Amino acid sequence: MKFDAAALRPFRTGLVVVLGLFVAGLALRPIEGPAWEEVRAKQPALRLDSLKDALGQGVTVGLLGGFRAIVADFIWIRTNSVWETYDLPKTQTSIKLVTAIDPRPLYFWLNGSRMIAYDMPNWRIDKAGGYDAVPESVKRRFDEEQSSVAIEYLEGGLGFHPEHPLLVLEIGNVHLNRLKDVETASRYYLRASQHPDAPYYAARIYAELLRRQERHAEAYAFLKALYPTLPKDNVMAQAAVVLERIRELEEELSIPEAERFKE
Amino acid sequence: MSVASVPFSFGRLGLIAGNTFLEAVRQKLFLFLVLITLGLVLSVLFLLTFNFGSSELKFIADFGFGALTFFGSALTIATTAQLFFSEIENRTALTLLAKPIWRAEFVFGKFLGVFAVIGVFCALTIGTTIALLMVREGQILAAATDEFEARSLIAYGDLLVVGLLQWLKFGVLTAIVLLIASFSNTNLFTVVTGFFVLVICHLQYLARDQWSNVDNILLSGAVRALSFIFPNFQLFNLADEIGQGSGVSGEVALRVAGYGLVYIAVIGGLAVYSFRNREI
Amino acid sequence: MTQAVSAISIKGLTKDFSVTLRGVKLRAVDSLNLEVAEGQVYGLLGPNGSGKSTTIKIILGLLDATVGDVRVFGVPANKVEARRNVGYLPEAPYFYRYLSGRELVRFYARVCGVPAATLKSRVDEVIAWVGLSGAADRRVGTYSKGMLQRIGLAQALVHDPKLIVLDEPTAGVDPVGSAEMCDLILKLKQQGKTVLITSHLLAQIEDVCDRVAILDRGKLIVEGSVQELVGQRDRQALIVDPLPPAEIEALKGWLAQRGHSLNSVEQPRARLDQLFLSKVSRPGRPGDKSAGVGSNEVPISDKPKA
């Protein structure tokens, strides 16, 4: 019987080790749990189905194992290389792949959308024969199509960063700069400016866009409400510039002296 | 005849650790991985050609911690297995264990020696990353004085905390590899199994995510048990947050550190238990 | 009056190794009983696979006995305390190659708890004793086999143990190095140390050992003093200068007148190897002889202090 006991010793040791690990895992759960919830919350879920085809099994395991930031970085660098070749489908796919892997950095969303909305219409015009040869209507169509892709892409980003002012502003910029749609752009600027972390310029530009639409009274009311909220010692807030705009609008709107805005 | 007892000695443990450290740093593998890692970290300088602006710092941080995680894991597994089996295969363990020392002193001495080597590796990698970040941050801020967003971009304190937690994770991995080596017969088996366990520890959170979706009670129980048996390495993966510019909560860092330290003690203890039953 | 404790006491030792999970075992040592008295040089002989190394590992606490009781100076061998008074030189020792000989001995001295105050002098002393003072600062990786054996002996002796276990101390060492190792063993004996030695080189064992045990397939075949085992009590040998045939005849006549006979006339020769081979029914392979440079090192110093 002693011999059997000796033969079983490795199994006994293995059992003790597994049990020890199990008990440790169980006992550590109260320490680990809250930390894990916080860490997990900052790691958005991966859409594995689409990534597996694009990256292969090995890289996908790497992503799951904690290498998603660096894999996304590498693919972003590759995106930049592809971008230099003006290969639209490849660049667009690569841009979307980067944010599918790691949607956390705003940088990817902002710069990806700029490539789509600002660079790609030019590539398409070049490919269609150049600026002189392509009719304005076709150029306009390219702009609209690419802008639409970029806006849809940025709205995808808002899914991961709800109401992030930089993303909202970026959508506004596409409307303003590519689609020349001042009215829609102003709505996005207003939306961005209402976010507590919005840059000060969002509100200033919103007022400017109202002025461009000849909505001076609205702009005046908006700036009058804005001015008291601006810190006077913060250079970014540009309170003096806002006051200057208020005075300009008072002139334009012929506001009587007595009714003019008082600091 | 009464013979004075031999108490557990931290002095002997330190001697074995020091000797292990000396042996490790004189290995070519260590030097090779250090050079590769530093090369990878420094390779981010080529990002200058893309002119990423302030986001370049995110890339530098990601590259630094990516290299640290990847090569650090490889170095931990290979060095631990190599240093353990060199003692067994070269019979130096026979000479050492024939002295009045406890096997616990041997195992934890090996652990501390490897842990110190990995510590040097982490310090070199993180130090290089921080140096690069500081230089580039200074250059970027200097060039962007007009920009509205010009401000300090990287929380260096958080970077150090995350680096320390990575080191602690490698400590847990060292203890795991020692546990495998304590019953394994070959270096190769230890290295391969060590890598498998590393992958499982990094992916066990997926099983935890899924167990509530598994209908089969047995399967669900098995998945749940597995998630208790293997440490959750994904918990240590806080480096991404640094790259995003968001900080690391002090409470989370303390919890993760406590988690790592307890696991080192428990798995190290189990390695001692297993090694005591090993016939040399 | 307390009874003297044996340096090594082995009672009913059996060691099995599990070969398969289904319980197939290899019996390496079978019901072994041995007593090694303090101060003896004891030879443990046997062919490869006879259980010598397993027995030594159990004495050193590196393996556990399956059955039986093994004690070192009265302390169970599996206790750490038992190794306090033991120095061990493994077969074909390999040491940390990146350390110098002095660093190596110093490392083991510190592991064994040699006090810091005497550490340096003790390390120097033991290195001088094994004759390696001139090479003490060279890396161990550059040592010849003979030098490795001697630095191995130095680390085994550095904490001044009462029992020294030498596993094949002359294996792979050239004849000069082997002879030097034998000299060192005899010096240890003079100092009152107990030495347990295994070797294939039976002539050397015969020269240095007080007692020997021969193991075969894990069992004890023969045990006793060298004199008891190879001497013939009903015979005597007179070693004389070579005699011409006529004088041998005259000697025969002289013996016959006194009722004695001259049984044989032959050259004196070693006899232990014959006994060994007859008992184990298969020849033990002699240790490979390889050229070493150990013998050309600094001469062995005088006996160290006890």
User: Rounded distance, CA C140 to CA B85, Å?
Assistant: 19
Residues of A in contact with C25 (CB under 8 A): 3, 6-7
> Do B270 and A65 lie within an 8 Å CB cutoff?
no
B252 touches chain A (CB under 8 A): yes
pLDDT attached to residue C49: 86
Closest CB to A31: pick one of B230, B241, B259.
B259
Residue C304 belongs to some domain of the structure: no
Between C258 and A50, where is the model more confident? C258
Closest chain C CA to residue B92: C95
- Where are the domains positioned within chain B? 10-276
User: Rounded distance, CA C263 to CA C303, Å?
Assistant: 44
pLDDT attached to residue A223: 93
Closest chain A CA to residue B229: A22
Q: What is the dihedral of CA C15, C19, C20, C25, to 10 degrees?
A: -40
Residue C279 belongs to some domain of the structure: yes
Q: What three-state secondary structure class fits B230? A: coil
Closest chain A CA to residue B54: A107
Minimal CA–CA distance to B236: which of B138, B122, B150, B148? B122
pLDDT attached to residue B7: 83
pLDDT attached to residue C292: 32
**Predicted confidence (pLDDT) at residue B211 exceeds the cutoff of 80:** no
Name the pairing type of β-strands C67-72 and C75-76. Answer: antiparallel
Quote the crossing angle between the two packed helices A88-101 and A106-114, to the nearest 10°. 170
Q: How far is CA C264 from the centre of its chain?
A: 33
B211 touches chain A (CB under 8 A): no
Between A216 and B243, where is the model more confident? A216
Residue C7 belongs to some domain of the structure: no
**Predicted confidence (pLDDT) at residue B20 exceeds the cutoff of 80:** yes
Question: How far from A95 is each of A113, A115, A164, A225, B51, CA to CA, in Å?
Answer: 8, 9, 20, 40, 17
pLDDT attached to residue C275: 60
Nearest-CA distance C23 → chain A (Å): 6
Give the other-Cβ count within 10 Å of A182's Cβ: 17
User: Rounded distance, CA B202 to CA B237, Å?
Assistant: 9
Strand order in the sheet with C211-216: C86-89, C163-167, C194-198, C41-45, C211-216, C219-225
pLDDT attached to residue C253: 92
User: Rounded distance, CA B122 to CA B116, Å?
Assistant: 10
Between C226 and B242, where is the model more confident? C226
Q: Which of B55-59, B264-268, C189-193 has the lowest mean pLDDT?
A: B55-59
Q: Residue C18's pLDDT band (boundaries 50, 70, 90)?
A: confident
**Predicted confidence (pLDDT) at residue B79 exceeds the cutoff of 50:** yes
Which residues sit opposite C98 in a β-bridge? none
Under 8 Å between Cβ of C30 and C216? no
Residue C108 belongs to some domain of the structure: yes
Q: Residue B145's pLDDT band (boundaries 50, 70, 90)?
A: low
**Predicted confidence (pLDDT) at residue B146 exceeds the cutoff of 70:** no
Between A68 and A123, where is the model more confident? A123
User: Rounded distance, CA B117 to CA B80, Å?
Assistant: 10
Residue C278 belongs to some domain of the structure: yes
Minimal CA–CA distance to C217: which of C41, C15, C9? C15
Residues of B in contact with C84 (CB under 8 A): 3-4, 6, 100
pLDDT attached to residue C268: 64
Closest chain A CA to residue B184: A10
**Predicted confidence (pLDDT) at residue B101 exceeds the cutoff of 80:** yes
B7 touches chain C (CB under 8 A): no
pLDDT attached to residue B203: 86
Q: Token pair for residue A46? A: 């991966």
Q: Which domain holds residue C190?
A: 38-65+73-230+272-296
Which residues sit opposite C16 in a β-bridge? C27
Between C229 and C32, where is the model more confident? C32
Mean pLDDT of all residues belonging to chain A: 88
Q: Which of A194-198, B23-27, B110-114, B151-155 has the lowest mean pLDDT?
A: B151-155
Nearest-CA distance C71 → chain B (Å): 11
> Do A3 and C21 lie within an 8 Å CB cutoff?
no
Residue B103 burial by Cβ neighbours in a 10 Å radius (0-12, 13-18, 19+): buried
Q: Residue C284's pLDDT band (boundaries 50, 70, 90)?
A: very low
DSSP per-residue codes, B24-58:
HHTSHHHHHHHHHHHHHHHGGGGGGGG--GGGHHH
pLDDT attached to residue A52: 67
Under 8 Å between Cβ of C270 and C202? yes
Q: pLDDT tens across C65-110, in order?
A: 999 999 999 999 989 999 989 999 988 777 888 889 999 999 999 9
> Do A38 and B243 lie within an 8 Å CB cutoff?
no
Give pairs for C17-20: CB < 8 Å, separation 24+: C17/B279, C18/A3, C18/A6, C18/A7
Q: pLDDT tens across B252-269, in order?
A: 899 999 999 999 999 999
Question: Length of chain C in residues, anyone?
Answer: 306
Q: Token pair for residue B151? A: 């401000």
Between C300 and C118, where is the model more confident? C118
Residues 59 through 118 of chain B touching chain C, CB cutoff 8 Å: 90-92, 94-102
Q: Give the global pTM.
A: 0.82
The whole-number average pLDDT for the span C159-164 is: 93
User: Rounded distance, CA C166 to CA A136, Å?
Assistant: 97
Question: How far from C269 is each of B196, C235, C274, CA to CA, in Å?
Answer: 63, 15, 10
Question: Length of chain B in residues, anyone?
Answer: 280
Residues of A in contact with B58 (CB under 8 A): 73, 105, 107
